[in-house]
């Protein structure tokens, strides 16, 4: 019996597709919060973060089978964060090409805060946020992955396309620079 022409190869059996969909659903449930958190950190509002998260998982789904094969059992979270990172960079590049006038978010205050609640920790938080803004994008991303997403150095290295050693140095320098800015 002759082998089928390359362009007429049958799609994978339905059972394989069902297994792939089940595995992807598990990946989605496991990492949705991390991808959204990273996207929110990068774009600064929940609407764009939701869009970026959706785009991340759509792109991940398109390449999921190959990524599973190439991962050799390693976690896929760094791969997802890398996709989100690249899409966020595209988002900023596109935004720079098409400037938009921001619309102020308005919302109703459901419960007023006490003055003590608002003042407590405000100066320190303000200094840290200001300090983070002064860091390079690479250092800022590394800190967010480490402290906001709880990723270990190896995961960060994979997400950023760096070696483990370079990532460790990057994080150390980012923390030291942030400490200097905050104390400074």
d(CA 128, CA 144): 13
Share of the chain above pLDDT 70, in %: 77
Per-domain residue ranges for the chain?
14-99, 121-184
Mean pLDDT, the chain, whole residue set: 82
Q: Please, which residues have CB within 8 angstroms of residue 163's CB and are 6 or more apart in sequence? A: 157
For tokens 């400037």, the residue is: 99
d(CA 45, CA 36): 11
CATH 1.20.1250.20 fits 14-99, yes or no: no
- Cβ(78)–Cβ(151) under 8 Å? yes
Q: Euclidean distance between the first and final Cα of the chain, in Å?
A: 77
* Amino acid 3: pLDDT: 46
CATH topology of domain 121-184: Arc Repressor Mutant, subunit A (1.10.10)
9-33 residue pLDDT tens: 344 445 688 898 999 999 999 999 9
Q: How confident is the model at residue 72 (pLDDT cuts 50, 70, 90)?
A: confident
* Phi, psi (rounded to 5 degrees) for 4: -65, 155
131-152 residue pLDDT tens: 888 999 999 999 888 988 889 9
- CA–CA–CA angle 24, 160, 167 (5° rounding): 125
d(CA 31, CA 14): 26
Q: Residue 78's Cα: distance from chain center in Å? A: 9
Residue 162 has pLDDT above 90, yes or no: yes
Q: How confident is the model at residue 44 (pLDDT cuts 50, 70, 90)?
A: confident
d(CA 151, CA 143): 10
* pTM recorded for the entire structure: 0.60
d(CA 133, CA 86): 19
* Amino acid 5: pLDDT: 44
Mean pLDDT of 110-114: 60
* Amino acid 17: pLDDT: 86
């Amino acid at each position: 019996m002759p082998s089928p022409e390359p362009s007429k190869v049958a799609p994978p059996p339905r059972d394989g597709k069902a297994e792939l969909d089940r595995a992807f659903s598990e990946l989605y449930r496991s990492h949705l919060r991390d991808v959204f958190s990273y996207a929110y950190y990068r774009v600064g509002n929940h609407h764009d973060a939701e869009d970026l998260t959706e785009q991340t998982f759509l792109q991940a789904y398109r390449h999921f089978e190959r990524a599973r094969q190439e991962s050799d059992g390693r976690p896929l979270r760094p791969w997802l964060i890398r996709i989100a990172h690249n899409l966020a960079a595209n988002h900023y590049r596109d935004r720079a090409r098409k400037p938009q006038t921001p619309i102020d978010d308005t919302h109703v205050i459901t419960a007023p805060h006490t003055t003590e609640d608002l003042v407590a920790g405000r100066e320190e938080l303000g200094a840290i946020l200001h300090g983070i803004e002064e860091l390079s994008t690479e250092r800022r991303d590394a800190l967010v992955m480490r402290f906001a997403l709880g990723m270990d150095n190896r995961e960060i290295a994979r997400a950023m396309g760096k070696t483990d050693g370079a990532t460790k140095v990057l994080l150390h320098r980012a923390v030291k620079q942030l400490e200097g800015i905050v104390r400074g």
